[in-house]
């Protein structure tokens, strides 16, 4: 079935199933390496210009009665911890693997998924030669083939090399959050499992935030599964643990073939609700929707790049025999003047696709609560080091 992805002002993106990095064509040999000492190979890094994370993140907050105010944003240039981020599949390059030149799609997704965390951490976001949208469409939906321009090792090498450069030149013993979404989650899952889990570097891990993907844990207990010794986050005072979830609507749960949140035979998918870590139960998330020009509330003019609609949406972790996932529930308040449904679905044949759910807004749903969670985790990590 051919799928169309709609993502507001974001570039559209696919996840790479099972974290495979191989597009459908035969690949040339001899992978090349990327020099991450060069500032142009980073979207975000302290001190570089241009810096894709230094953008306007002001938000119009609209209440149910239609009243609104603008919430301004300011980054903390003295933030005590770092965030290392790998972005999802966004590249529109006409080749199997993307180049290292940022386009609007990379700039937009970093703005939506990472820049707001600049209030609690220094931000590092490398460019990498990811599997492109064209290559994934060719494999998954029967789209036209794209030219081969690299090897399956290129994306992995880039992420590994960017991480190694960061550790050698910027970390200096600081705590670090490692986060990603979709293909980026596949990359950081591989990175954490191979280079951080059960190594000395694990002591510097403040949090692993793995969105729009599947991390496995035992059905009873919080250690084991995808990672050997990194637990699932279950307490508000915890750090060095994993936050992961994939989002589906209350009215459209994951289909049996949904990749995200799928349970294993002896394991289950991790679902940690950033708004309710200790219980996973109902929370009112601090969602920041990208302003795509729609009418967010009757008579309200929105001129900021982001919009918040407090109280309209709630979330909770839900477990079924086949999947464990974050369920988004839309509950307009009495006489609510705001739009009835702000969600952005992956569409198939003109309908929301239950195999993908609300994959496109996983990060939007989490980002406001993650600001609070990562700030608290960073404080606890620093206290634990004293």
**Residues 221, 219: Cα–Cα separation, whole Å:** 6
Low-confidence ranges of the chain (pLDDT < 50): 1-27
pLDDT of residue 138: 85
pLDDT of residue 16: 38
- Burial string for 74-84 (b: 16+ CB within 10 Å, else e) reads ebeeebbbbbb
The residues pairing with 126 across neighbouring beta strands, listed in sequence order, are 42
pLDDT of residue 29: 57
pLDDT of residue 18: 35
pLDDT of residue 137: 83
Q: How would you classify the pairing of strands 59-62 and 68-71?
A: antiparallel
Burial of 386 (0-12, 13-18, 19+ CB in 10 A): exposed
**What DSSP element (H or E) covers 328?**
strand 324-330
pLDDT of residue 7: 34
Residue with tokens 């003109």: 350
pLDDT of residue 5: 39
Q: What is the DSSP letter of 55?
A: S
115 and 57 in contact (C-beta within 8 Å)?
Answer: yes
Could you read off the pLDDT of 222-278 as tens digits, one per residue?
A: 999 999 999 999 999 999 999 999 999 999 999 999 999 999 999 999 999 999 999
**Residues 47, 250: Cα–Cα separation, whole Å:** 43
**Residues 23, 136: Cα–Cα separation, whole Å:** 7
pLDDT of residue 2: 35
**What DSSP element (H or E) covers 122?**
strand 121-126
pLDDT of residue 19: 37
């Amino acid at each position: 079935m051919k799928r169309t992805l709609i993502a507001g002002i974001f570039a559209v993106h696919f996840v790479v199933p099972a974290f495979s990095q191989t597009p459908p064509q035969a690949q040339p040999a001899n992978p090349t390496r990327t020099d991450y000492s060069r500032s142009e190979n980073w979207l975000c890094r302290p001190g570089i210009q241009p810096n894709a994370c230094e953008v306007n993140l002001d938000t119009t907050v609209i209440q149910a009665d239609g009243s609104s105010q603008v919430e301004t944003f300011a980054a903390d240039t003295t933030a005590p911890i770092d965030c290392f981020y790998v972005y999802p599949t966004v590249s529109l390059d006409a080749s199997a693997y993307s180049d290292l030149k940022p386009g609007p799609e990379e700039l937009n997704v970093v703005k939506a998924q990472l820049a707001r965390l600049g209030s609690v951490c220094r931000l590092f976001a490398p460019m990498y030669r990811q599997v492109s949208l064209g290559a994934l469409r060719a494999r998954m939906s029967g789209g036209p083939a794209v030219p081969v321009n690299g090897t399956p090792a290129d994306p992995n090498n880039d992420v590994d090399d960017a991480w190694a450069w960061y550790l050698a030149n910027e970390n200096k013993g600081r705590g670090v959050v490692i986060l990603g979404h979709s293909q980026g989650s596949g990359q950081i899952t591989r990175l954490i499992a191979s280079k951080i889990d059960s190594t000395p570097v694990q002591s510097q891990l403040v949090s692993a935030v793995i969105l729009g993907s599947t991390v496995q844990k035992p059905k009873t207990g919080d250690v084991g599964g995808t990672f050997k010794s990194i637990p699932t986050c279950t307490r508000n005072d915890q750090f060095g643990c994993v936050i992961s979830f994939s989002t589906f609507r209350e009215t459209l749960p994951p289909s049996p073939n949904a990749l995200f949140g799928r349970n294993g035979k002896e394991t289950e998918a991790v679902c940690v609700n950033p708004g309710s870590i200790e219980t996973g139960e109902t929370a009112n998330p601090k969602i920041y929707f990208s302003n795509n020009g729609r009418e967010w509330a009757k008579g309200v003019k929105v001129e900021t790049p982001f919009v918040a609609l407090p109280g309209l949406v709630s979330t909770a972790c839900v477990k079924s025999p086949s999947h464990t996932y974050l369920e988004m529930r839309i509950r307009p308040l009495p006489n609510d003047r705001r739009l009835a449904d702000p969600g952005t679905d992956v569409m198939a044949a003109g309908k929301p696709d239950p195999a993908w759910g609300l994959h496109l807004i996983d990060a939007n749903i989490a980002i406001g609560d993650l600001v609070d969670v990562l700030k608290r985790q960073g404080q606890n990590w620093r206290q634990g080091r004293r």
